Structure 1
Amino acid sequence: MNSSDFGGEGPQVPEVLKPLVAQYEKYTRMYQHQIDRTAPHTVNRWVATAGLNALFLLRVVMAEGWYIVCYAHAIYLLNLLLAFLQPKFDPSLEQDLAATNIEEGGDELPTTNENGRDDGKDDEFRPFVRRLPEWQFWLSATKSTVISLVCSFFIAFDIPVYWPILVMYFFALFAITMRRQIRHMIKYKYIPFDFVRKEKYGSRR
Protein backbone atom coordinates (compact mmCIF):
# COMPACT_ATOMS: atom_id res chain seq x y z
CA MET A 1 0.00 0.00 0.00
CA ASN A 2 1.40 3.39 -1.01
CA SER A 3 1.63 6.38 1.28
CA SER A 4 -0.62 8.25 -1.11
CA ASP A 5 -3.46 5.92 -0.14
CA PHE A 6 -3.55 7.62 3.24
CA GLY A 7 -3.74 11.11 1.75
CA GLY A 8 -0.10 11.93 2.44
CA GLU A 9 0.48 13.35 -1.02
CA GLY A 10 -3.04 14.62 -1.70
CA PRO A 11 -5.56 13.31 -4.23
CA GLN A 12 -4.08 11.57 -7.23
CA VAL A 13 -5.13 12.55 -10.75
CA PRO A 14 -6.06 9.64 -13.03
CA GLU A 15 -3.66 9.04 -15.89
CA VAL A 16 -6.37 9.79 -18.44
CA LEU A 17 -7.00 13.26 -17.02
CA LYS A 18 -3.37 14.28 -16.50
CA PRO A 19 -2.96 15.83 -20.00
CA LEU A 20 -6.16 17.83 -19.54
CA VAL A 21 -5.07 19.04 -16.10
CA ALA A 22 -1.66 20.01 -17.48
CA GLN A 23 -3.26 21.99 -20.30
CA TYR A 24 -5.65 23.67 -17.86
CA GLU A 25 -2.78 24.72 -15.58
CA LYS A 26 -0.81 25.94 -18.57
CA TYR A 27 -3.60 28.18 -19.84
CA THR A 28 -4.34 29.35 -16.31
CA ARG A 29 -0.75 30.51 -15.90
CA MET A 30 -0.83 32.21 -19.30
CA TYR A 31 -4.08 33.98 -18.43
CA GLN A 32 -2.77 35.14 -15.05
CA HIS A 33 0.45 36.35 -16.67
CA GLN A 34 -1.43 38.42 -19.24
CA ILE A 35 -3.73 39.85 -16.57
CA ASP A 36 -0.77 40.81 -14.37
CA ARG A 37 0.85 42.63 -17.29
CA THR A 38 -2.12 45.00 -17.50
CA ALA A 39 -1.72 46.23 -13.91
CA PRO A 40 0.49 49.29 -14.69
CA HIS A 41 -1.69 50.44 -17.62
CA THR A 42 -4.56 51.93 -15.64
CA VAL A 43 -5.96 54.28 -18.28
CA ASN A 44 -5.78 51.72 -21.09
CA ARG A 45 -7.51 49.11 -18.92
CA TRP A 46 -10.45 51.36 -18.10
CA VAL A 47 -10.77 52.58 -21.69
CA ALA A 48 -11.02 48.97 -22.86
CA THR A 49 -13.63 48.20 -20.18
CA ALA A 50 -15.61 51.31 -21.13
CA GLY A 51 -15.54 50.12 -24.73
CA LEU A 52 -16.88 46.72 -23.71
CA ASN A 53 -19.68 48.38 -21.75
CA ALA A 54 -20.54 50.59 -24.73
CA LEU A 55 -20.64 47.50 -26.93
CA PHE A 56 -22.93 45.75 -24.45
CA LEU A 57 -25.29 48.74 -24.21
CA LEU A 58 -25.36 48.98 -28.00
CA ARG A 59 -26.26 45.31 -28.15
CA VAL A 60 -29.12 45.82 -25.67
CA VAL A 61 -30.46 48.90 -27.46
CA MET A 62 -30.24 47.41 -30.96
CA ALA A 63 -31.76 44.06 -29.94
CA GLU A 64 -34.34 45.69 -27.63
CA GLY A 65 -33.99 42.96 -25.06
CA TRP A 66 -31.96 41.55 -22.18
CA TYR A 67 -32.95 44.40 -19.90
CA ILE A 68 -32.77 42.15 -16.85
CA VAL A 69 -29.16 41.29 -17.68
CA CYS A 70 -28.37 44.97 -18.12
CA TYR A 71 -30.03 45.83 -14.81
CA ALA A 72 -28.17 43.09 -12.92
CA HIS A 73 -24.91 44.23 -14.49
CA ALA A 74 -25.56 47.85 -13.46
CA ILE A 75 -26.40 46.85 -9.86
CA TYR A 76 -23.20 44.81 -9.65
CA LEU A 77 -21.13 47.74 -10.93
CA LEU A 78 -22.80 49.98 -8.35
CA ASN A 79 -21.81 47.60 -5.56
CA LEU A 80 -18.24 47.54 -6.86
CA LEU A 81 -18.14 51.34 -6.97
CA LEU A 82 -19.44 51.56 -3.42
CA ALA A 83 -16.77 49.15 -2.17
CA PHE A 84 -14.15 51.14 -4.12
CA LEU A 85 -15.14 54.38 -2.37
CA GLN A 86 -15.31 52.90 1.13
CA PRO A 87 -12.31 52.63 3.47
CA LYS A 88 -11.01 49.20 4.33
CA PHE A 89 -11.50 49.88 8.05
CA ASP A 90 -14.78 51.66 8.76
CA PRO A 91 -14.13 54.54 11.22
CA SER A 92 -17.67 54.25 12.60
CA LEU A 93 -17.02 50.66 13.66
CA GLU A 94 -13.73 51.64 15.28
CA GLN A 95 -15.47 54.33 17.31
CA ASP A 96 -18.22 51.92 18.36
CA LEU A 97 -15.63 49.38 19.50
CA ALA A 98 -13.78 52.05 21.47
CA ALA A 99 -16.99 53.26 23.11
CA THR A 100 -18.02 49.70 23.96
CA ASN A 101 -14.61 49.05 25.47
CA ILE A 102 -14.95 52.10 27.72
CA GLU A 103 -18.48 51.18 28.78
CA GLU A 104 -17.36 47.66 29.70
CA GLY A 105 -14.49 49.02 31.78
CA GLY A 106 -11.73 48.03 29.41
CA ASP A 107 -8.14 48.87 30.27
CA GLU A 108 -7.31 50.23 26.83
CA LEU A 109 -7.95 53.89 26.21
CA PRO A 110 -9.36 55.06 22.87
CA THR A 111 -6.63 56.04 20.43
CA THR A 112 -8.88 57.94 18.04
CA ASN A 113 -10.48 61.33 18.33
CA GLU A 114 -13.93 62.37 17.18
CA ASN A 115 -12.75 62.45 13.56
CA GLY A 116 -11.62 58.83 13.63
CA ARG A 117 -7.91 59.71 13.50
CA ASP A 118 -5.14 58.92 15.89
CA ASP A 119 -4.59 61.64 18.48
CA GLY A 120 -1.55 63.68 17.70
CA LYS A 121 -1.37 62.46 14.13
CA ASP A 122 -3.98 64.63 12.44
CA ASP A 123 -1.36 66.47 10.39
CA GLU A 124 0.40 63.33 9.20
CA PHE A 125 -0.44 62.15 5.70
CA ARG A 126 -1.89 58.65 5.56
CA PRO A 127 -2.94 57.18 2.22
CA PHE A 128 -6.52 56.07 1.79
CA VAL A 129 -6.78 52.28 1.97
CA ARG A 130 -9.73 51.09 -0.07
CA ARG A 131 -12.04 48.26 0.77
CA LEU A 132 -11.79 47.19 -2.89
CA PRO A 133 -8.49 47.99 -4.65
CA GLU A 134 -8.59 49.66 -8.04
CA TRP A 135 -7.18 46.66 -9.91
CA GLN A 136 -9.71 44.28 -8.37
CA PHE A 137 -12.45 46.79 -9.16
CA TRP A 138 -11.40 46.87 -12.81
CA LEU A 139 -11.02 43.09 -13.09
CA SER A 140 -14.42 42.38 -11.53
CA ALA A 141 -16.10 45.05 -13.67
CA THR A 142 -14.51 43.67 -16.84
CA LYS A 143 -15.52 40.10 -16.03
CA SER A 144 -19.08 41.21 -15.32
CA THR A 145 -19.21 43.09 -18.63
CA VAL A 146 -17.94 40.11 -20.60
CA ILE A 147 -20.40 37.75 -18.88
CA SER A 148 -23.28 40.15 -19.54
CA LEU A 149 -22.28 40.48 -23.18
CA VAL A 150 -22.18 36.70 -23.56
CA CYS A 151 -25.57 36.34 -21.84
CA SER A 152 -27.08 38.75 -24.35
CA PHE A 153 -26.65 36.08 -27.06
CA PHE A 154 -28.85 33.55 -25.27
CA ILE A 155 -32.61 33.91 -25.56
CA ALA A 156 -33.11 32.23 -22.18
CA PHE A 157 -31.84 35.40 -20.43
CA ASP A 158 -34.18 37.69 -22.38
CA ILE A 159 -36.92 37.91 -19.76
CA PRO A 160 -39.80 40.25 -20.71
CA VAL A 161 -39.91 43.27 -18.43
CA TYR A 162 -41.02 46.89 -18.54
CA TRP A 163 -37.59 48.50 -18.77
CA PRO A 164 -38.49 52.11 -17.77
CA ILE A 165 -39.28 50.86 -14.25
CA LEU A 166 -35.83 49.27 -14.02
CA VAL A 167 -34.18 52.49 -15.18
CA MET A 168 -36.08 54.60 -12.67
CA TYR A 169 -35.39 52.17 -9.84
CA PHE A 170 -31.67 52.04 -10.66
CA PHE A 171 -31.28 55.81 -10.70
CA ALA A 172 -33.21 56.09 -7.44
CA LEU A 173 -31.01 53.42 -5.86
CA PHE A 174 -27.88 55.11 -7.21
CA ALA A 175 -28.92 58.49 -5.78
CA ILE A 176 -29.74 57.05 -2.35
CA THR A 177 -26.54 55.01 -2.19
CA MET A 178 -24.22 57.83 -3.25
CA ARG A 179 -25.96 60.30 -0.93
CA ARG A 180 -25.39 57.95 1.99
CA GLN A 181 -21.76 57.47 0.97
CA ILE A 182 -21.13 61.22 0.64
CA ARG A 183 -22.64 61.79 4.09
CA HIS A 184 -20.33 59.12 5.49
CA MET A 185 -17.33 60.81 3.84
CA ILE A 186 -18.29 64.21 5.24
CA LYS A 187 -18.96 62.88 8.74
CA TYR A 188 -15.64 61.08 9.10
CA LYS A 189 -13.64 63.53 6.95
CA TYR A 190 -11.99 61.23 4.43
CA ILE A 191 -11.56 61.46 0.68
CA PRO A 192 -11.37 58.27 -1.41
CA PHE A 193 -8.81 59.85 -3.73
CA ASP A 194 -5.27 60.84 -2.77
CA PHE A 195 -5.15 64.37 -4.09
CA VAL A 196 -2.84 65.49 -1.29
CA ARG A 197 0.71 64.26 -1.06
CA LYS A 198 2.88 64.19 2.04
CA GLU A 199 4.94 67.35 2.37
CA LYS A 200 8.70 67.01 2.34
CA TYR A 201 10.79 69.50 4.26
CA GLY A 202 14.29 70.40 3.23
CA SER A 203 15.99 69.81 -0.09
CA ARG A 204 19.03 68.00 -1.34
CA ARG A 205 21.80 69.90 -2.99
Structure 2
Amino acid sequence: MMDEDTSTSSGGGVKLFFVRLSQMYQSTLDRWTPHTRMRWAGAIVILLLFLLRIFIYQGWYIVCYALGIYHLNLFIAFLTPKIDPEFDPYENDDGPNLPTRSNEEFRPFIRRLPEFKFWLSITKSTIIGLICTFFDFFNVPVFWPILVMYFITLFCITMKRQIKHMIKYKYLPFTRNKPRYQRVGESQATTK
Protein backbone atom coordinates (compact mmCIF):
# COMPACT_ATOMS: atom_id res chain seq x y z
CA MET A 1 0.00 0.00 0.00
CA MET A 2 2.84 2.38 0.82
CA ASP A 3 4.61 1.66 -2.48
CA GLU A 4 1.52 2.66 -4.51
CA ASP A 5 1.24 6.01 -2.69
CA THR A 6 4.94 6.74 -3.20
CA SER A 7 4.87 5.95 -6.94
CA THR A 8 1.70 8.00 -7.42
CA SER A 9 3.13 11.02 -5.64
CA SER A 10 6.41 10.83 -7.56
CA GLY A 11 4.50 10.53 -10.86
CA GLY A 12 2.47 13.58 -9.88
CA GLY A 13 5.66 15.45 -9.06
CA VAL A 14 7.11 14.76 -12.50
CA LYS A 15 3.84 15.75 -14.15
CA LEU A 16 3.69 18.91 -12.03
CA PHE A 17 7.28 19.73 -13.03
CA PHE A 18 6.47 19.49 -16.74
CA VAL A 19 3.23 21.43 -16.34
CA ARG A 20 5.13 24.19 -14.55
CA LEU A 21 7.86 24.11 -17.22
CA SER A 22 5.29 24.49 -20.02
CA GLN A 23 3.64 27.36 -18.13
CA MET A 24 6.97 29.17 -17.83
CA TYR A 25 7.64 28.58 -21.53
CA GLN A 26 4.22 29.96 -22.50
CA SER A 27 4.65 32.92 -20.16
CA THR A 28 7.97 33.75 -21.79
CA LEU A 29 6.43 33.54 -25.26
CA ASP A 30 3.56 35.79 -24.13
CA ARG A 31 6.04 38.41 -22.91
CA TRP A 32 7.92 38.33 -26.25
CA THR A 33 4.79 38.65 -28.39
CA PRO A 34 4.59 42.47 -28.63
CA HIS A 35 8.33 42.92 -29.28
CA THR A 36 8.38 42.02 -32.98
CA ARG A 37 11.65 43.73 -33.93
CA MET A 38 13.53 42.32 -30.96
CA ARG A 39 12.22 38.81 -31.67
CA TRP A 40 13.34 38.96 -35.29
CA ALA A 41 16.70 40.47 -34.32
CA GLY A 42 17.25 37.53 -31.97
CA ALA A 43 16.24 35.05 -34.67
CA ILE A 44 18.66 36.66 -37.13
CA VAL A 45 21.47 36.53 -34.56
CA ILE A 46 20.85 32.81 -33.98
CA LEU A 47 20.75 32.22 -37.75
CA LEU A 48 24.03 34.13 -38.19
CA LEU A 49 25.63 32.04 -35.42
CA PHE A 50 24.49 28.92 -37.25
CA LEU A 51 25.91 30.15 -40.57
CA LEU A 52 29.14 31.25 -38.90
CA ARG A 53 29.57 27.77 -37.43
CA ILE A 54 28.95 26.24 -40.87
CA PHE A 55 31.52 28.51 -42.52
CA ILE A 56 34.18 28.17 -39.82
CA TYR A 57 34.05 24.37 -39.57
CA GLN A 58 33.34 23.80 -43.29
CA GLY A 59 30.76 21.08 -42.74
CA TRP A 60 27.15 20.18 -41.99
CA TYR A 61 26.01 21.33 -45.42
CA ILE A 62 23.14 18.85 -45.41
CA VAL A 63 21.87 20.36 -42.15
CA CYS A 64 22.17 23.84 -43.66
CA TYR A 65 20.36 22.76 -46.82
CA ALA A 66 17.54 21.08 -44.86
CA LEU A 67 17.18 24.19 -42.70
CA GLY A 68 17.05 26.39 -45.81
CA ILE A 69 14.34 24.24 -47.39
CA TYR A 70 12.34 24.30 -44.16
CA HIS A 71 12.65 28.09 -43.89
CA LEU A 72 11.57 28.44 -47.52
CA ASN A 73 8.52 26.29 -46.79
CA LEU A 74 7.68 28.48 -43.78
CA PHE A 75 8.12 31.65 -45.84
CA ILE A 76 5.75 30.39 -48.53
CA ALA A 77 3.16 29.54 -45.87
CA PHE A 78 3.66 33.06 -44.45
CA LEU A 79 2.96 34.62 -47.86
CA THR A 80 -0.06 32.45 -48.66
CA PRO A 81 -3.60 33.37 -47.62
CA LYS A 82 -5.32 31.13 -45.09
CA ILE A 83 -8.18 30.45 -47.47
CA ASP A 84 -6.57 30.02 -50.85
CA PRO A 85 -8.86 31.26 -53.65
CA GLU A 86 -7.21 28.82 -56.04
CA PHE A 87 -8.60 25.86 -54.13
CA ASP A 88 -11.81 27.49 -52.89
CA PRO A 89 -12.89 29.85 -55.69
CA TYR A 90 -16.58 29.88 -54.80
CA GLU A 91 -17.72 32.33 -52.21
CA ASN A 92 -19.09 30.67 -49.13
CA ASP A 93 -19.93 31.82 -45.64
CA ASP A 94 -17.21 29.82 -43.87
CA GLY A 95 -15.12 32.92 -43.24
CA PRO A 96 -13.28 35.74 -44.99
CA ASN A 97 -12.11 35.15 -48.56
CA LEU A 98 -9.94 37.27 -50.82
CA PRO A 99 -11.85 39.36 -53.37
CA THR A 100 -11.36 38.04 -56.89
CA ARG A 101 -13.13 40.88 -58.75
CA SER A 102 -12.79 44.62 -58.32
CA ASN A 103 -16.45 45.10 -57.36
CA GLU A 104 -16.28 42.66 -54.43
CA GLU A 105 -16.08 43.75 -50.83
CA PHE A 106 -12.64 44.18 -49.26
CA ARG A 107 -11.64 41.39 -46.92
CA PRO A 108 -8.44 41.51 -44.88
CA PHE A 109 -5.50 39.28 -45.73
CA ILE A 110 -5.24 36.45 -43.21
CA ARG A 111 -2.04 34.44 -43.42
CA ARG A 112 -1.87 30.68 -43.45
CA LEU A 113 1.06 30.96 -41.03
CA PRO A 114 0.83 33.96 -38.66
CA GLU A 115 3.91 36.10 -38.06
CA PHE A 116 4.45 34.91 -34.49
CA LYS A 117 4.30 31.22 -35.43
CA PHE A 118 6.58 31.98 -38.39
CA TRP A 119 9.14 33.54 -36.07
CA LEU A 120 8.80 30.77 -33.49
CA SER A 121 9.24 28.01 -36.09
CA ILE A 122 12.28 29.71 -37.60
CA THR A 123 13.86 30.22 -34.19
CA LYS A 124 13.22 26.66 -33.03
CA SER A 125 14.45 25.10 -36.27
CA THR A 126 17.60 27.23 -36.29
CA ILE A 127 18.39 26.23 -32.70
CA ILE A 128 17.84 22.56 -33.62
CA GLY A 129 20.11 23.02 -36.66
CA LEU A 130 22.75 24.67 -34.47
CA ILE A 131 22.58 21.76 -32.03
CA CYS A 132 22.94 19.31 -34.93
CA THR A 133 26.25 20.94 -35.87
CA PHE A 134 27.74 19.68 -32.62
CA PHE A 135 27.36 16.05 -33.73
CA ASP A 136 29.65 14.57 -36.38
CA PHE A 137 26.91 12.11 -37.33
CA PHE A 138 25.16 14.91 -39.22
CA ASN A 139 28.33 16.03 -41.01
CA VAL A 140 27.73 14.08 -44.23
CA PRO A 141 30.34 14.87 -46.89
CA VAL A 142 28.64 16.42 -49.93
CA PHE A 143 29.65 18.73 -52.75
CA TRP A 144 28.05 21.90 -51.39
CA PRO A 145 27.94 23.99 -54.62
CA ILE A 146 25.35 21.56 -56.02
CA LEU A 147 23.18 22.08 -52.91
CA VAL A 148 23.51 25.85 -53.23
CA MET A 149 22.54 25.81 -56.91
CA TYR A 150 19.62 23.48 -56.25
CA PHE A 151 18.38 25.69 -53.41
CA ILE A 152 18.64 28.84 -55.57
CA THR A 153 16.73 27.10 -58.38
CA LEU A 154 14.07 25.86 -55.98
CA PHE A 155 13.75 29.32 -54.41
CA CYS A 156 13.34 31.03 -57.80
CA ILE A 157 10.75 28.53 -59.06
CA THR A 158 8.77 28.67 -55.82
CA MET A 159 8.80 32.46 -55.59
CA LYS A 160 7.85 32.82 -59.27
CA ARG A 161 4.82 30.61 -58.66
CA GLN A 162 3.92 32.55 -55.49
CA ILE A 163 4.21 35.94 -57.22
CA LYS A 164 2.04 34.70 -60.10
CA HIS A 165 -0.51 33.57 -57.51
CA MET A 166 -0.44 37.02 -55.87
CA ILE A 167 -0.94 38.75 -59.22
CA LYS A 168 -3.70 36.39 -60.33
CA TYR A 169 -5.75 36.81 -57.15
CA LYS A 170 -4.75 40.46 -56.56
CA TYR A 171 -3.47 40.36 -53.00
CA LEU A 172 -0.45 41.76 -51.22
CA PRO A 173 0.63 39.87 -48.10
CA PHE A 174 2.48 42.80 -46.53
CA THR A 175 0.96 45.64 -44.53
CA ARG A 176 3.54 48.29 -45.34
CA ASN A 177 2.30 51.25 -47.39
CA LYS A 178 -1.31 50.13 -47.19
CA PRO A 179 -3.80 52.85 -46.26
CA ARG A 180 -4.84 52.92 -42.62
CA TYR A 181 -8.13 54.47 -41.73
CA GLN A 182 -8.92 56.13 -38.41
CA ARG A 183 -12.24 56.31 -36.72
CA VAL A 184 -14.01 59.63 -36.80
CA GLY A 185 -13.58 60.18 -33.05
CA GLU A 186 -9.85 59.43 -33.18
CA SER A 187 -9.12 61.93 -35.97
CA GLN A 188 -11.00 64.71 -34.16
CA ALA A 189 -9.20 63.98 -30.89
CA THR A 190 -5.78 64.23 -32.54
CA THR A 191 -6.56 67.57 -34.23
CA LYS A 192 -7.65 69.32 -30.99
Give the match for residue 49 of structure 2: 55
| Distance change >3 Å, CA 201–CA 22, structure 1 → 2 | closer
Residues 1:196 and 2:178 are matched in the alignment: yes
| Mapped partners of 1:198, 1:117: distance in 2 | 22
Other structure's SS at 1:94 match: coil
1:14-61 superposed Cα distances (whole Å, 9 cap, x missing partner): 333221211111111111100111010000000100000000001011
Aligned residues: 177
Which structure 1 segments of 5+ residues have no match? 1-12, 99-111
Counterpart code for 2:142: V
Out of 39, 56, 59, the position equivalent to 2:33 is: 39
| Mapped partners of 2:118, 2:183: distance in 1 | 35
Alignment of structure 1 residues 68-79 onto 2, 5 Å: 68-79=62-73
Q: CA deviation at 1:201?
A: 7.9
Other structure's SS at 1:149 match: helix
Counterpart code for 1:134: E
Give the match for residue 67 of structure 1: 61
Q: Bigger radius of gyration, 1 or 2?
A: 1
Q: CA deviation at 1:147?
A: 0.2
Give the match for residue 173 of structure 1: 154
Q: CA deviation at 1:204?
A: 2.9
* Percent identity between the two aligned chains: 49
| Mapped partners of 2:8, 2:179: distance in 1 | 56
| Mapped partners of 1:89, 1:118: distance in 2 | 18
| Mapped partners of 2:136, 2:102: distance in 1 | 56
| Distance change >3 Å, CA 26–CA 117, structure 1 → 2 | farther
Q: CA deviation at 1:89?
A: 0.6
| Mapped partners of 2:141, 2:41: distance in 1 | 32
Other structure's SS at 1:92 match: coil
Residues 1:83 and 2:64 are matched in the alignment: no
Alignment of structure 1 residues 1-205 onto 2, 5 Å: 14-95=8-89, 97=90, 116-117=100-101, 119-121=103-105, 124=106, 126-194=107-175, 195-200=177-182, 204=188
Superposed CA RMSD: 2.4
Give the TM-score taking structure 2 as reference length: 0.84
Q: CA deviation at 1:198?
A: 4.5
| Mapped partners of 2:27, 2:126: distance in 1 | 21
| Mapped partners of 2:104, 2:144: distance in 1 | 53
| Distance change >3 Å, CA 24–CA 182, structure 1 → 2 | same
| Mapped partners of 2:26, 2:58: distance in 1 | 36
Higher helix share: 2
Give the TM-score taking structure 1 as reference length: 0.79
| Distance change >3 Å, CA 200–CA 56, structure 1 → 2 | closer
| Distance change >3 Å, CA 200–CA 29, structure 1 → 2 | closer
Which structure 2 segments of 5+ residues have no match? 1-6, 92-96
